[in-house]
């Protein structure tokens, strides 16, 4: 091949590949703009609908990267590169990443479920994974709680969603149950009257639902009662203490005893006789 033919072939190839390269660059640039526009539109839509900001940002970024990856794979086909092999590599890589980050992905999936089903929200007092605390933040992989003694606790979402969740502040009212024992020689009807009057007068106990004095059982050393009074959820601990304090004062005022644990001891007469001879 002479020099003129070589220059002509190089020029033709440069023109062909140059046009393809220019087209690819333009396509990637447009894909970049479209991906950014779609992402911003999704974020605005999520914000208007009140969708969770953390989850909305994640989904918007996911769509953006999906558009860019699809555009790059499409551009590779322009140069004659088979994208099916890339799809296989991506699938294999995705499987490997999934196995390596199995725990992380389970936390992410649990985080999505918590954000969708909302068993609790920020500010609720909950019992999760055996821990009592106030919810400070719900993230995609973890939840942050503040314990009652002001400790910061971070729990993986999979541990929360896979266990029992107890929301202590979900309802506006809670029932306070206080157990109390009275002496066996105390009159039951009089004891009930004293406790009912006391419970109804406790500050913070609601009249509706009606408070209840429940005769629970024959205890080992006492007649067991249970005082049940409803209150506002935010007043729960204060009302609990008032019921204990006021019931003690009411029983003392009525001369009804709260006995200590008792045990009857029976000795064999032969044993007593043997002890007496020593």
CATH number for the domain harbouring residue 86:
1.10.287.1260
Can you give the residue range of the structural domain that contains 125?
120-167
Q: Can you say whether the dihedral through the CA atoms of 185, 188, 189, 190 is positive or negative?
A: positive
**Residue 138's pLDDT is what?**
83
**Token reading at 218:** 């024959």
203, 233 Cβ separation under 8 angstroms: no
* Residues shown for the chain: 278
Residue, of 276 and 260, whose pLDDT is higher = 260
Give a yes or no: residue 8 inside a domain: yes
- Say which residues have a Cβ less than 8 Å from residue 96's Cβ, sequence separation at least 6: none
pLDDT at 81 over 70: no
- Residues 168-177 have a mean pLDDT of 95
- Residues 152-175 have a mean pLDDT of 92
Residue where a domain stops, chosen among 167, 200, 222? 167
127 and 203 belong to one structural domain: no
**Token reading at 60:** 């918007």
Residue where a domain stops, chosen among 71, 100, 129? 100
By CB neighbour count within 10 A (0-12 exposed, 13-18 middle, 19+ buried), where does 51 fall?
middle
C-alpha span between 51 and 167 (Å, rounded): 22
Q: What is the pTM assigned to this prediction?
A: 0.59
The domain tally of the chain equals 3
Residues 224-259: tens digit of each pLDDT: 999 999 999 999 999 999 999 999 999 999 999 988
pLDDT at 190 over 90: yes
163 and 204 belong to one structural domain: no
SS3 42: helix
Residues 113-162: tens digit of each pLDDT: 888 888 888 889 999 988 999 999 887 788 899 998 999 999 999 889 88
Cβ-based neighbour number of residue 126 at 10 Å: 22
Average pLDDT in the chain: 82
157, 107 Cβ separation under 8 angstroms: yes
Q: Can you say whether the dihedral through the CA atoms of 234, 240, 246, 250 is positive or negative?
A: positive
């Amino acid at each position: 091949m002479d020099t003129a033919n070589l220059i002509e072939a190089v020029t033709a190839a440069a023109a062909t590949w140059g046009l393809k390269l220019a087209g690819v660059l333009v396509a990637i640039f447009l894909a970049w703009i479209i991906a950014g526009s779609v992402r911003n539109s999704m974020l605005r839509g999520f914000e208007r609908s009140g969708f969770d900001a953390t989850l909305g940002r994640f989904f918007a970024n996911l769509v953006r990267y999906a558009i860019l990856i699809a555009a790059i794979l499409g551009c590779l086909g322009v140069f004659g590169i088979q994208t099916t092999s890339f799809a296989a590599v991506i699938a294999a890589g995705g499987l490997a990443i999934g196995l390596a980050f199995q725990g992380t992905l389970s936390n992410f999936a649990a985080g999505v479920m918590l954000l969708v089903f909302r068993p609790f929200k920020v500010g609720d007092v909950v019992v999760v994974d055996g821990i009592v605390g106030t919810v400070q933040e719900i993230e995609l992989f973890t939840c942050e709680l503040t314990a009652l003694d002001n400790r910061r606790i971070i729990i993986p979402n999979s541990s929360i969603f896979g266990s029992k969740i107890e929301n202590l502040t979900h309802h506006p009212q809670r029932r306070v149950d206080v157990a109390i024992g009275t002496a066996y020689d105390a009159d039951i009807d009089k004891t009930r009257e004293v406790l009912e009057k006391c419970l109804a007068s406790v500050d913070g106990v609601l009249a509706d639902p009606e408070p209840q004095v429940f005769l629970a059982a024959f205890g080992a050393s006492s007649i067991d009662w249970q005082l049940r009074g409803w209150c506002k959820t935010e007043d729960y601990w204060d009302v609990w203490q008032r019921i204990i304090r006021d019931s003690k004062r009411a029983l003392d005022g009525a001369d009804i005893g709260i006995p200590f644990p008792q045990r009857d001891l029976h000795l064999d007469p032969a044993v007593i006789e043997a002890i007496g001879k020593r």
